[in-house]
Structure 1
Amino acid sequence: MGDTLTRKTLRAHLVSGGALSAGLDCTVSVDQILVEDATGTMAAMQFEMLGVDRIGVPLAVMYIDHNVLQIDDRNMQDHRYLRSFCDRYGVRYSPPGHGISHYIHLEKFGKPGEILVGADSHTSMGGALGMFALGAGGLEVAVAMAGYGFDFVCPEVVGVELTGELGIAVEAKDIVLELLRRHGVRGGRGKVFEFFGEAVERLSVSARATICNMIVETGAMTAMFPSDEQTRLWLRSQGRESDFIPLAADADAEFDAVERVDLSVLRPLVAVPHSPGNVVAVADLPPTPVVQVCVGSSVNSSYDDLATVAAILDGRSVHPGVQLTVTPGSRQILQMIIASGVYETLMKAGARMLEPICGPCVGIGQAPIAGAASLRTFNRNFPGRSGTAEDQVYLCSPSTAAASALTGTITEATGLGPLELVAAAAPDLGLHEANITRVLPEAERRNVQIERGSNLVPPPLPEPLPADLKARVLIVVGDDISTGDMAPDGVIAMSVWSNLAVCARFMFNRLDPGFHDRAIDWGGGIIVGGENYGQGSSREHAALIPLHLGVRIVAAKSYARIHRRNLIAAGIAPLIRPAGDTTDEGDEWSISGLQAAIAHGHSELTVTTRDGRTLVLGIQLSPAEREILLAGGLLAQVNGVSRQLAIA
């Protein structure tokens, strides 16, 4: 039988792991690293702790696209630290306002057949160019950036056959929303979605980017499209046609599972609060007035997306009860919409034009009114992510967003007929060269002094897991709790992500404002969660804060992939809580033989509670994950191995 594109790419980079069977450990070499400023400061400080002299991969790029509002000096402290870090260690640096990491990386750096690892969950967007691109926590990215490769558990590969043609006002966003309608936010866990079929050749790279960006909301590791004529045309437009190579799954490729999407039967879809998995047809919604419509940011901010909105708004005005914002994905896209007249059309219609940053996608500005519907072309609508605790955020395509901005109610754009988009102006290919730094010569790098403001505080180093543990349950939370509830979005909380002691004050604040002080008073404890604990962002702060507060185990019914790995990297054991457990906050747990159970490959251990009950927790860890926990976390393990190699 033939091979999938996913396994071909992994096999070409395989360092260890052999069979690439789903569920087994493997290690791959990494071609490219993507880091952004919100996760970048912790990743950079942990990279420094590895003691290497420069990056150990061909390319690493740092993008300043999250914390750029600069309401005080802490954002700029972070930026100056990251700029000097990049100069010192050989990382390229994209400054504030130049654009969002994912779009710039597609424009300037993405290459078919390469492996991209990024400290941002939506790094998966690189799959639009035939890359194996996946998000990870900052420490795992730092380790990969240092040249140690990337370790992970091999996924299943699900083939998604696309057939038919998209109808009027049905877009790539509706394809990925359809997959979310089928799978919810948990059904993709442990999987890569690989797209094939006759309809694929009609999807542009920017359309594929939308699907790959948002596929992680199913819980999936990533998505891949073939590298084909669409890829070649994209690379040619960026002056990089020499980077093109044709890549695809074999005609007789054996997928672990196959599903089909007939594009001709899709209708405009919308994800309703408070999950990307709550997907319904726009036509099936009750009348839903909106007060805000936001287009662009991390996803759906390509030229085609913004030109689509402009075509619908052309000669019309935004409803007087609606605020419309538009965020281009990069300065290159901004230049293109200005040159083509799209910018002027949007502005005349009443849109607020924002700079190319993540912005409202992560609660940095444009927080909506509590309880009122905000319709966005973004990728997440978790509670409070917008910056408003009691928000009501809906997710949709650019066409639906534009039609709704005109009517003031969530509306299909199908009645507007086929759209004629304004032809794109040629991109200014010099913008990236003028704004993204080059790697300094080695002699200059060694003389760079890294600038550390008072906001930059290195994370703690964990002690090895204790042999036995006795602690109280600090909090019990429900299903689908996101990392945004642990390290919140928004301009205030995100400004202190470089200082865990301050950032910790925000953990679980939306759910339980007393959590932080209780953890301090009790000297640590245990976090108990439900299904899909830690969904969403790759922010490892959601694991480092519990470590800072004295948490050494989390017990949840199941975990999101990246957060689970972040817990392990931080030296915190992610244990499996049984169905029917009725643990309460304040319960005291005693665990005998915690360290031994992990060391000896046990699949469960027993908890004894203060009132005499027993509780059996599952241990679902691969051999490599057990080794990390026993070493005291990933940093301790890598440093220990590197010291042994140096001695040898």
Structure 2
Amino acid sequence: MNSFNAKTTLTVADKTYTVYSLPEAAKTLGDVSRLPYSLKVLLENLLRYEDGRTVSADDVRAIATWLQTRTSDREIAYRPARVLMQDFTGVPAVVDLAAMRDAIVNLGGDPNKINPLSPVDLVIDHSVMVDSFGSANAFQSNVQMEFQRNHERYAFLRWGQRAFDNFRVVPPGTGICHQVNLEYLAQVVWTKEENGETVAYPDTLVGTDSHTTMVNGLSVLGWGVGGIEAEAAMLGQPISMLIPEVVGFKLTGQLPEGATATDLVLTVVQMLRRKGVVGKFVEFYGEGLAHLTLADRATISNMAPEYGATCGFFPVDEETIRYLEFSGREPERVALVEAYAKAQGLWRYSNMPDPVFTDSLELDLGTVEPSLAGPKRPQDRVLLSDLAVQFKEKDFTSFSSLPYSEKRSAPVPDASYDLTDGAVVIAAITSCTNTSNPSVMIGAGLVARKAREKGLTVKPWVKTSLAPGSQVVSDYLQKAGLQEDLDALGFNLVGYGCTTCIGNSGPLPDPIVSAINEKDLVVGAVLSGNRNFEGRVSPHTKANYLASPPLVVAYAIAGNLAIDLKNDPIGQDSSGSPVYLKDIWPSTEEIKSVMAEALTPEMFRSRYGNVFDGTPAWQQIGTADSQTYTWEGSSTYVQNPPYFEGMSSEVNGHSFADIEGARPLAILGDSITTDHISPAGSIKTDSPAGSYLVGNQVTPADFNSYGSRRGNHEVMMRGTFANIRLTNEMVPGSSGGVTKHMPDGTEMSIYDAAMQYQAEGTPLIVFAGKEYGTGSSRDWAAKGTRLLGVKAVVAESFERIHRSNLVGMGLLPLQFVEGCDRNTLNLDGSETFDLTGLSQGIQPGMIVTLVIHRADGSHEEVPLVCRIDTLDEVEYYRNGGILHYVLRQLLAA
């Protein structure tokens, strides 16, 4: 069915493609040429899937009428072309698929109905940890440790690769999923054979990592979703979404000498956070785009989660084509991309009128200055020239009762130096944001070269690491001779994957930890990552700053955050003369010259020619060849989750019901991240998860991380709300996952309290402040919350992905009305609660009543907004979660 006569053909190099033409549809819809490019992609998607059922003609018209309203409350069903996963979030998704196969068999169905219907790529990139560093054998040592730790997980993924159709696995040691996506997987224009035709359409995706947005720099519309949403997309379910507002970000001018793409993106993050773009698309336009490389654009798009937007989109232009050619894409594909974009009005011409946007803001690239962001949020930009003062006068005192003028120091055992407050103990070149960008990576290598020439060295207390986003980075660093210079300063290759920014920084040396603990020193990390939330980088670094790779090298040399790198010497040369940052900072021309010599398309073709084969170690992993997975009861990595226990083919039990007699499990503040709710990093021995592992004969040395054990619900539910930096207001002065079991008031771990409440049949509620669930698209933050027995989360506002994940797990997200919150209600944890108004049925955005029963016998009623936002979400909640909904749909098909 096509109400708009949009189906036409496009011939490129003697091959004919079926396309759903926007210009043809415009003959009925009216002129759509000034729609934002990102909305044109959504419009094409609706045209292609218009069937009168999931997509109606009115849905299509709603995109066209957006030009007049510049906003919309229209809910649409969006179907991305494919799904991207990384292994931390991908393993539990595959676990759920395996569990769904078991469940459909138990209900009398066919396990082969559980298969991805959209192409899925899973890139194993989150499991390498920086155990070994600063040596020539660091890479081999870390890889060996990675395979030892993760053998069970990798065997499971090898099984999934064989068992499921339409599912590919990129083996470990290849690179970060977003960079592999940018350099190889993404096609800009996707094609598939359908009813004897080759259909061409925009490459779109959702991913189980927030930073899926990176590929928007390559004009591929994509964003992060929870694992449960991704599973639904894999299984053919559309993603329900409101037609978004689109904020235009106009770029003019070009970056000045000394400023990097990292400085630019930190500026963009700060500006957009202040603007407020949560739940909106951001689209970049203006003549400044002509001065940004594709890698620069990808750097900006990568950090869309940090500036709060759903995505940060760049349209197709000459730079897009140049990058596709340079990165080794097939000439036929490159030709199709250009022809398709021009035919569809998706091509950016320099003299075209600007698109129409909901709102806009502007940045002159020439005003960008060297910057960092921290000490604990990526949007808190600080100029390089101000950081030392900020650390000494402001942020230091937020971690300690002592001013920096009374800074402390402690001797490092078996060393000839002391460790002081402000010491940089981690300097990491890491993350997809920056290692995808040759300009900043070459820049880091040149800083290392110039520093080496002057006899500068890294301070002995700094843990240095280099974890590139792809093997191509190593190729051009080697060809330029810069890897030797980085090695000389301790920035040896430690692995290809997401390390420090995800909490895989590995342990600090014991003597360093001893000195930190002796005086509770405030020490820091400088990393070229995109995330620096509390407790994420390392449990020992209280101040964590995001910076460009060249600045990471510089701070490793300086060794302390309180040194003013803009004005003070960074060190002394071999003759004792002071050396300043400007003395070792490369010029833009130097960087460009090295890039021109060192990078070649052949590097991409060679590295990605056999990308799915993996190393001999990967190929030697044995696994069963079966439709359903044989669960090992003794496994501490992969277990059959309990979501489908007792499930029937029809909806029962869950449906719509009021919640009565609930107790608060936790009362939390603002900006509670998914790291706070479900940490990805190290597992403490004395935590509930640590006790479980010890009870299963796992030694602390083999604990690995929460992120690596996401395939085991027993570990993950024990780790829910277990972040060492989490503050529960029910237990003033505490930190970590502790609460009070009421009414007796006994303090215990959140997990133990939840289990006791479950045994008593008491439902639970979590209360929180603003921006609940910010951070990575971590489905376990919702899954773990459900398994603890929480029925509802009441917050002042929610992060987009986490709110959706809560609904997807059958949880009720509720929002305080303006002027009402946990503080105005004086909640202390002694109360019990009822949630009424649910039993008559749920409608998106309806008002639910919270009845507060206080310990003194009084009660109070307050209204809450139900943040089940769409009719599809109502069905997910009614079924007990999106997986249950999909399973029942497939069973009935």
Same fold (TM over 0.5): yes
SS in 1 for 2:888: helix
Deviates more, 1:263-272 or 1:181-190: 181-190
Contact 2:267–2:381 (CA under 8 A) maintained in structure 1: yes
Q: 1:425 aligns with which of 599, 606, 622?
A: 599
Q: 2:811 aligns with which of 548, 569, 572?
A: 572
Deviates more, 1:276-285 or 1:179-188: 179-188
Q: CA deviation at 1:428?
A: 4.5
Q: Tell me, which stretches of 5 or more residues in structure 2 are unaligned? A: 1-31, 50-54, 64-70, 102-110, 130-144, 189-201, 392-421, 517-521, 567-580, 615-623, 645-652, 682-703, 727-736, 739-748
Distance in 1 (alpha carbons) for counterparts of 2:238 and 2:796: 30
Q: Map residues 208-287 of structure 1 onto 2, 5 A cutoff.
A: 208-240=297-329, 241=331, 242-243=333-334, 244-245=337-338, 246=341, 247-248=346-347, 251-287=353-389
Q: CA deviation at 1:335?
A: 2.5
1:502 aligns with 2:715: yes
Distance in 1 (alpha carbons) for counterparts of 2:540 and 2:787: 25
Deviates more, 1:340-349 or 1:524-533: 340-349
SS in 1 for 2:287: coil
Question: Which residue pairs with 1:441 in the alignment?
Answer: none
Question: Which residue pairs with 2:658 in the alignment?
Answer: 468
Contact 1:297–1:361 (CA under 8 A) maintained in structure 2: yes
Q: Residue type of the partner of 1:623? A: L
Distance 1:615 1:458, change over 3 A: farther
Deviates more, 1:130-139 or 1:591-600: 591-600
Q: CA deviation at 1:154?
A: 2.8
1:64 aligns with 2:246: no
Question: Which residue pairs with 2:504 in the alignment?
Answer: 364
Q: CA deviation at 1:433?
A: 2.9
Q: CA deviation at 1:502?
A: 1.7
Distance 1:270 1:531, change over 3 A: same
Distance in 2 (alpha carbons) for counterparts of 1:542 and 1:400: 33
Question: Which residue pairs with 1:329 in the alignment?
Answer: 469
Q: 2:172 aligns with which of 91, 96, 100?
A: 96
Distance in 2 (alpha carbons) for counterparts of 1:313 and 1:74: 33
Q: CA deviation at 1:390?
A: 5.1
SS in 2 for 1:435: coil
Contact 2:84–2:208 (CA under 8 A) maintained in structure 1: yes
1:114 aligns with 2:203: yes
Q: CA deviation at 1:171?
A: 1.8
Q: CA deviation at 1:363?
A: 1.5
1:540 aligns with 2:779: yes
Contact 1:65–1:99 (CA under 8 A) maintained in structure 2: yes
Q: Residue type of the partner of 1:67? A: S
Q: CA deviation at 1:71?
A: 6.9
Distance in 1 (alpha carbons) for counterparts of 2:850 and 2:94: 38
Distance in 2 (alpha carbons) for counterparts of 1:566 and 1:310: 41
Distance in 2 (alpha carbons) for counterparts of 1:465 and 1:486: 26
Question: Which residue pairs with 1:314 in the alignment?
Answer: 449
Q: Which is higher, the Rg of structure 1 or of structure 2? A: 2
SS in 2 for 1:151: strand
Q: CA deviation at 1:389?
A: 5.6
Q: CA deviation at 1:521?
A: 0.9
Q: 2:610 aligns with which of 417, 422, 434?
A: 434
Q: CA deviation at 1:466?
A: 5.1
Contact 2:430–2:500 (CA under 8 A) maintained in structure 1: no
Q: Residue type of the partner of 2:804? A: R
Contact 2:277–2:307 (CA under 8 A) maintained in structure 1: yes
Q: Deviations over 1:150-170 (max 9, x none)?
A: 222332111111111111221
**TM-score normalised to structure 1 length:** 0.92
SS in 2 for 1:299: helix
Q: Residue type of the partner of 1:314? A: R
Contact 2:656–2:878 (CA under 8 A) maintained in structure 1: no
SS in 1 for 2:609: helix
Question: Which residue pairs with 2:640 in the alignment?
Answer: 458
Q: Deviations over 1:221-247 (max 9, x none)?
A: 111112222211211122214243343
Q: Tell me, which stretches of 5 or more residues in structure 1 are unaligned? A: 439-444
Contact 1:99–1:329 (CA under 8 A) maintained in structure 2: yes
Distance 1:345 1:623, change over 3 A: same
Q: Residue type of the partner of 2:42? A: L
Question: Which residue pairs with 1:381 in the alignment?
Answer: 532
CA RMSD of aligned residues (A): 2.5
Deviates more, 1:505-514 or 1:221-230: 505-514
Q: Residue type of the partner of 1:642? A: L
Q: Residue type of the partner of 2:711? A: S
Q: Deviations over 1:129-165 (max 9, x none)?
A: 1011100011111111122232223321111111111
Q: Deviations over 1:422-467 (max 9, x none)?
A: 23232141322323159xxxxxx98667464423223343762551
Q: Residue type of the partner of 2:172? A: P
1:296 aligns with 2:296: no
SS in 1 for 2:432: coil
Contact 1:180–1:217 (CA under 8 A) maintained in structure 2: yes
Question: Which residue pairs with 1:83 in the alignment?
Answer: 158
Distance 1:400 1:595, change over 3 A: farther
SS in 2 for 1:283: helix
**TM-score normalised to structure 2 length:** 0.68
Distance 1:73 1:469, change over 3 A: farther
Q: Map residues 53-202 of structure 1 onto 2, 5 A cutoff.
A: 53-57=114-118, 59-69=119-129, 70=145, 75-89=150-164, 90-112=166-188, 113-184=202-273, 187-202=276-291
Q: 2:45 aligns with which of 13, 16, 19?
A: 13
Distance 1:6 1:175, change over 3 A: same
Q: Deviations over 1:515-574 (max 9, x none)?
A: 111111112511111100010011100000111111111001100011111001000010
Distance in 2 (alpha carbons) for counterparts of 1:482 and 1:318: 37
Deviates more, 1:491-500 or 1:476-485: 491-500
Distance in 1 (alpha carbons) for counterparts of 2:613 and 2:491: 32
Q: Residue type of the partner of 2:429? A: V
1:25 aligns with 2:25: no
Name the % identity: 29
Question: Which residue pairs with 2:796 in the alignment?
Answer: 557
Question: Which residue pairs with 2:884 in the alignment?
Answer: 636
